[in-house]
Structure 1
Amino acid sequence: MVTLRNTASEFAQYLGRELNFDQKDAETVRYGIEIILGAFIKGLFIIVISYWIGIIPYVLAVFATSSILRLLSGGVHCSTYGRCLVLGTAMMVLTGWASLIISPYVRKDLMLLLIMLTALTGLYFVKKYAPADNCNKSITKEAKRVRYKRLSLFFVITWTVVIAFVIIICWESPSTYSLVLASIGGFLGQIFSLCPAGYRLIGSIDNVLGKILP
């Protein structure tokens, strides 16, 4: 059966033979290839569906925010790539759609308050849980964990400043609130995946999806 992991393994083995990698280096390359291929397929899948629905800018805002933060902070995954693809796509499309529906009812002062509350929540979760391990990757070196935590905190602060600046400067644009809400949704979804409750919820959904998908 052709799987993402098998494809990445075969490519890594080919590179290992050509470039004389040892087993450890080949495994590192395999993991990197798997991540890149997975992100490409997931991104393409999300773009096609959101384009078909007509909400592509908002879904891309969710995707960009959550993907960058996930790269730094880790978080729970489903046990197979297929389940991750289905769950991730559904959550991002629903979040993008919800941001478009809700945005007309949100005022500027409420949006700024929401950004601040989201940032404080993000700082707390990142400081307490990041980097969060998953079944595919565990960071054991303390120096590396500290580095990823600092990068995650830096992202939260930078994201907050940029999003608040966008609201203050571009608040009259009809699409601004929808895009910002979508980004907030992606941010909150990712930090929830760091905590024990997120692991339990995704684990339960994974079990349900396991009855449909391998």
Structure 2
Amino acid sequence: MLHNLSLRLAKSLAFNGGLDPSRIPVITYGLEIILGIVVKTFCFLAIPSVLGVLPQTLAAFTASALFRLPAGGAHCTGFARCLFGSIVAFTGIGILASFIGGLSNWTLTLFYIVLGLAILLTLSRVPVDNPSRPVKKPEERVRMQKWALGILFTYFMLVNILPLTSDLIFAASLGLLLQLFTLLPAGYKLMHHYDMLLIKVTSSITKGGR
């Protein structure tokens, strides 16, 4: 759906703006990224806000997303499926953190355990190849490992310097733990099954609506 909308907008911009039609794929790609960011931002602000767990959800999402940049990991094959899964997962963590995070006195212990696991997986598995962008050069792999370790060190410093509440630390720890799971073979299998399930569900709904 997002791709089709981007394609229509790109064609309109190209034909009405007198641009070379050969640029349509490039324009489509750029518009798809921009529209995707807008849709994701709206959903990640609106839904958790309605549920009253915006800070916790953003803490979980940020901890996961920043580490994912250099680390890689399993992901869905479609924008809508990725968005739906992310909203459910991170909002769920936000809700859990709002109820449990503020009551736990072992939040820092959990954070350090997850951080230790993240360091081990970074040294042993990062970066996890994306089929669309495999990392083949050894020097690039080392660079991305250093990048990931730098992000983890930043998390350590933020937790020890900023006056973060325990529910935010709890949410961030679970968000990072979720991202670590996507680096493992079990995470790839689970993501594949989830992706296939949603494809079947959406296909059935589409056929049923005809």
* TM-score (structure 2 length as normaliser): 0.80
Aligned-residue offset at 1:144: 2.1
Aligned counterpart, 1:128: 124
Rg larger in structure: 2
Aligned-residue offset at 1:34: 4.4
Secondary structure in 2 matching 1:43: helix
Count of aligned residue pairs for this structure pair? 199
2:136 and 2:157 map into 1 onto residues whose CA distance is 32
Q: Call closer, same or farther: CA 1:56–1:152 in 2, change over 3 Å.
A: same
Aligned counterpart, 1:137: 133
Aligned counterpart, 2:78: 80
| 1:156 and 2:156 are equivalent in the alignment | no
- In structure 2, runs of 5+ residues without a counterpart are 204-210
Equivalence map 1:101-116=2 (5 Å): 101-107=99-105, 110-116=106-112
Aligned-residue offset at 1:6: 7.2
More displaced, 34-43 or 118-127? 34-43
2:8 and 2:148 map into 1 onto residues whose CA distance is 29
Aligned-residue offset at 1:102: 0.7
- In structure 1, runs of 5+ residues without a counterpart are none
Give the residue type in structure 2 aligned to 1:49: I
Q: Call closer, same or farther: CA 1:160–1:213 in 2, change over 3 Å.
A: farther
Aligned counterpart, 2:208: none
- The one-character-per-residue Cα deviations of 1:155-204 (angstroms, maximum 9, x if unpaired) are 012112211333xxx37xxxx11111111111111111111111111111
- The one-character-per-residue Cα deviations of 1:26-64 (angstroms, maximum 9, x if unpaired) are 87x876664454333222112111111111111111121
Aligned-residue offset at 1:111: 2.2
RMSD: 3.0
Give the residue type in structure 2 aligned to 1:57: P
Identity %: 27
Give the residue type in structure 1 aligned to 2:109: L
2:42 and 2:89 map into 1 onto residues whose CA distance is 15
Secondary structure in 2 matching 1:118: helix
Secondary structure in 1 matching 2:183: coil
| 1:39 and 2:30 are equivalent in the alignment | no
More displaced, 95-104 or 29-38? 29-38
Is 1:76–1:194's contact at 8 Å kept on the other side of the alignment?
A: yes
Is 1:4–1:81's contact at 8 Å kept on the other side of the alignment?
A: no
| 1:3 and 2:2 are equivalent in the alignment | yes
Aligned counterpart, 2:184: 195
1:54 is aligned, of 52, 55, 70, to 52
1:132 and 1:9 map into 2 onto residues whose CA distance is 34
- The one-character-per-residue Cα deviations of 1:66-106 (angstroms, maximum 9, x if unpaired) are 11111221111112111111111100100011011112331
Q: Call closer, same or farther: CA 1:136–1:36 in 2, change over 3 Å.
A: farther
Aligned counterpart, 1:178: 167
2:31 and 2:181 map into 1 onto residues whose CA distance is 26
* TM-score (structure 1 length as normaliser): 0.79
Aligned counterpart, 2:198: 209
Is 1:112–1:164's contact at 8 Å kept on the other side of the alignment?
A: no
Aligned counterpart, 1:99: 97
Secondary structure in 1 matching 2:135: coil
Aligned counterpart, 1:119: 115
